[in-house]
Structure 1
Amino acid sequence: MKKLKGVVLFLLLASLITGCFRSTKKTATPEAVLKTNTNADFFIMENTVYKNAEDVQWVKDIPLKKGNFLGKTNKTKVKRNFKNWNATSLDIGTEVYKLEGREDIVLAKKEDKYIPYIRYVEG
């Protein structure tokens, strides 16, 4: 009986502890991104930060096949009060496309080149 109580107590404590460490990922705010890097290159789409990923090695290693058109940036050099399609560096009118096979990466068309931007999350 003593062993059973010990096992039940252990399971109860283990479930309580693991419940406290639940992993949640949420999108980062533009202000938080700028706080860590005042020169960060990103834009906002669907209330989510998409950060330049052209120097991220694993992104360089995947094929960048352009998918459907998503929209265009409408404001540049933004540093606060961000709205969808506002950008910190991209020119006004920069076209953004889906990356085929990925939900977390999009492509921004700069002249004749496509730059990957990755959804930026905290946690």
Structure 2
Amino acid sequence: MKINKLYVVVLNLIIVVALTACSTQNLSSDDIKTANPTAESFLSEKPEADIFVKGNIVYKNAEQIDWIQDTSFTLGEKVMTIKEVSNEGNNFKHGTASKLSVGTEIFELEKKNGHLLIALVNEEKIPYIGLIEG
């Protein structure tokens, strides 16, 4: 009994497709989770950190980042005011800061630059960068 070469090729192709289909996982975007750091997780690693929360994004002091040190900032629109101060990460919500004083105003840049915001403290512009995963 002769086996046709085409038959062998088709049979092998079917086996490969079947094995591939069985091993492939169907991942939806719900299965892949990326999460931005929380104030609680950030402060547990760096309790002395200078951070605040706007919306659900944690912003950390960015004065020591090289490219930010070389940037001049023109303030844009005011986006929030610090409402409370806490060192307990689980107490953080929109408007909570670890070091900035209550009443500190937070601004966007005139020319938006990613997730960079500016705190105005005694006429000094202090840059903060959003901690975004993903």
- TM tier, smaller: 0.7 to 0.9
Mapped partners of 2:45, 2:82: distance in 1: 23
Measured after TM superposition, the shift of residue 3 of structure 1 is 2.7
Written as runs of structure 1 = structure 2, the 5 A alignment for 1:106-121 is 106-121=117-132
Distance in 2 (alpha carbons) for counterparts of 1:5 and 1:59? 56
Q: Mind listing any 5+ residue stretches in structure 2 that lack a counterpart? A: 1-9
Change in 2 beyond 3 A, CA 1:11/1:65: farther
TM-score by length of 2: 0.72
Q: TM-score, normalised by structure 1?
A: 0.78
Q: CA deviation at 1:6?
A: 1.1
Consecutive aligned runs of 4 or more in structure 1 exceeding 6 Å deviation? none
Deviation for aligned residue 1:10: 3.3
Per the alignment, do residues 91 and 55 of structure 1 end up closer, same or farther by CA in structure 2, a change over 3 Å counting?
A: same
Computed over aligned residues only, the root mean square deviation of the Cα atoms, in angstroms, reads: 2.6
Residues 51, 23 of structure 1: alpha-carbon distance in 2 compared, 3 angstrom cutoff: farther
TM-aligned CA distance change 1:116 to 1:6, over 3 Å: same
Change (3 A) 1:25 1:60: farther
Q: Greater Rg, structure 1 or structure 2?
A: 2
